[in-house]
Amino acid sequence: MTINVEEMAVFCKRKGIIYPSSEIYGGLSGFFDYGPYGSEIKRNVVNAWWKEWVRSREDIVGIDGSIIANPKIWKASGHVDGFSDLILETEDGKEQIRADHFLEEQLGGNFDGVTSDEVNKLLKKHNLTLKGKKFKECVSFNMMFTTNIGPKQGNIGYLRPETAQIIFADFKLIQENARLKLPFGIAQVGKAFRNEISPRNFIFRSREFEQLEIEYFIHPKQTKCPYIDEVKDFSMSVLSAEMQEKGEKAVSMSVKELLKKKILQEWHAYFLAKNIKWFLKLGCNPKNFRIRQHLKDELAHYSSDCWDIEYKFPFGFKELQGVADRSDYDLSKHIKHSGKDLSLFDEETKSKVVPHVVAEPSLGLDRAILVFLFEAYNDDKKRGNIVLNLHPKIAPLQVAILPLVKKLDDESRKIFEDLKEDFNCFFDNGGSIGRRYARMDEIGTPFCVTIDFESLEDKAVTVRDRETTKQERIKISELKTYLRNKL
Ligand code: ATP
């Protein structure tokens, strides 16, 4: 990782990966557009995740819910009354900042879960100001975006602040349609909106973002995770609540050890390890990941335990994914507010049971993309250009077809037409070959195929590997198989 987040934003804009939204009108803080290459990366990350968590599993199904739902959902879930952050506004009303983040910057430490009274006391005690400006009283600010549903004014709706609640509201339908038996999970990928007080760090904290979420339901008595053996020997860097209270540093521990020491319970250990393993499978460095347990006053009121997977961004270790135990909080709330029975019949005990969400792995897609970009970015001084070492599964293009000179276009196009059936290909006949290789390196294209005059004779092409720059001569008839094996 060689650049900071501002430099990454500049790079992404220059290479057609991510732009600030509506820039011709001065932009809009907290909103971004994914460009031609960014939108491919995003699609690939979602596909890789969906394949891992939905298609390859028998116990998890997916849904695609609406962004605006009956506002009663958000009343029942507690978001209308409690989905808020504490805001500090300067006395002239010109600047607003999130209180916990401000305190963190000024005083160090973690201020998640701090109350407005505590903030006001700390401001006084440390005489804190923003660029010399004093603050008004700290108040809470609801982060849900509102809209009007239909032509009649006053019919308030909310843009969903998380995808999860849609899963709970549809729980019974999904369970019946997919004939799911406990334990099972329901996954969803989609947009979420939060009116963040101070969006920052590029796409790390925006107002419109995407989430990849799973609600995993169990019988409340099922403490054993049947999949735990898959991850028992996996080691992760761990920072438990106790270690934080004692001021200790994170240490690497295997899942086996974590279970033995009762730092983690099986389900949590499984989801944390499996999620980190997914990032490693896609080329990330294990050293940049750690799991951190929420402190008692950091825990949401419904959560009995919550661990975050944190990533070492250039601006510090920050939450990439939360894995909370939500118990039966949400289903019970929806049972109460809707008056509908959302319990399941348990064959074993011959009784009705409200399933518990033992783990809610909730990953921010944009944060995941930022991780992949930081991991891949390499300013290769020897080559004289940036190389984005993205895993081939998430690279925006897989193969570039480069005729050495325009005269070879016809022959090259035939190869392009054939390859694009199987791979995401790009045809580029403009500029020197060195420049074209560099352009492909910068957006992370794993392979370049060059067609030269000799190709007409030997029916072979040169394949250049992005990672090593090594070139190999491959018969056109064997090219597809060669690339398939490599990719
Ligand atoms: P934070 O403490 O950083 O505000 P959170 O604890 O409120 O995050 P969750 O409600 O647990 O976040 O949301 C689950 C995931 O959604 C987060 O781990 C993160 O990856 C992503 N996420 C949340 N808020 C944003 C945001 N404003 N921009 C981008 N991603 C976000």
Listed residue (363, 362, 357, 386) closest to 373, CA to CA: 386
The predicted pLDDT at position 277 comes to 98
Task: Quote the pTM value.
Answer: 0.94
DSSP state of 6: H
- Residue 389: the pLDDT is 97
Q: Are 293 and 241 in contact (CB under 8 A)?
A: yes
CATH topology of domain 397-486: Rossmann fold (3.40.50)
Count H helices, E strands: the chain?
A: 17, 25
Mean pLDDT within 151-157: 95
Distance CA 437, CA 55 (A): 35
pLDDT tens-digit readout, 160-210: 999 999 999 999 999 999 999 999 999 999 999 999 999 999 999 999 999
The confidence score (pLDDT) of residue 305 equals: 87
Domain layout of the chain by residue ranges = 38-76+144-374, 84-142, 397-486
Whether 206 is in the pocket of ligand 1, judged by its Cβ within 6 Å, is: yes
Which residues make Cβ contacts (< 8 Å) with residue 4, sequence separation at least 6?
314, 315
pLDDT at 347 over 90: no
Q: What is the DSSP string of 456-467?
A: HHH-EEEEEETT
Q: Residue holding tokens 């393993």?
A: 277
**CB-ligand 1 contact for 53 (6 Å cutoff):** no
| Confidence at residue 326, expressed as pLDDT on a 0 to 100 scale | 93
For 148, other C-beta atoms within 10 Å of its C-beta total: 11
Ligand 1 centroid–CA 195 distance in Å is 12
The residue whose CA has the least distance to atom 22 of ligand 1 is 364
Q: Distance, CA 321 to ligand 1 centroid (Å)?
A: 7
Cα 150 to averaged position of ligand 1 atoms, centre (Å): 30
Give, for ligand 1, the residue of 77, 103, 201, 209 to mutate: max count of ligand atoms closer than 8 Å to Cβ: 209
**How many residues comprise the chain?**
487
Q: Are strands 316-325 and 356-364 parallel, antiparallel or unpaired?
A: antiparallel
- Segment 385-400 shows an average pLDDT of 97
pLDDT exceeds cutoff 80 at 398:
yes
Q: Does domain 38-76+144-374 have CATH number 1.10.287.620?
A: no
- Closest residue CA from atom 9 of ligand 1: 322
Q: What is the pLDDT of residue 214?
A: 98
pLDDT digits (tens, 9 = 90+) for 284-318: 999 999 999 999 888 777 777 899 999 999 999 99
Give nearest CA residue, ligand 1 atom 20: 364
Q: State if residue 366 touches ligand 1 by the CB under 6 angstroms criterion.
A: yes
Amino acid 129: pLDDT: 94
Atom of ligand 1 nearest to the CA of 318: 3
At residue 271, does pLDDT exceed 80?
yes
209 lines ligand 1 (CB under 6 A): yes
What average pLDDT does the structure give for the chain? 95
CA angle 220, 357, 360 (to 5 degrees): 150
pLDDT single digits (tens) 101-147: 999 999 988 888 899 999 999 999 999 999 999 999 999 999 999 99
Of 451, 399, 391, 388, which is closest to residue 423 (Cα–Cα)?
399
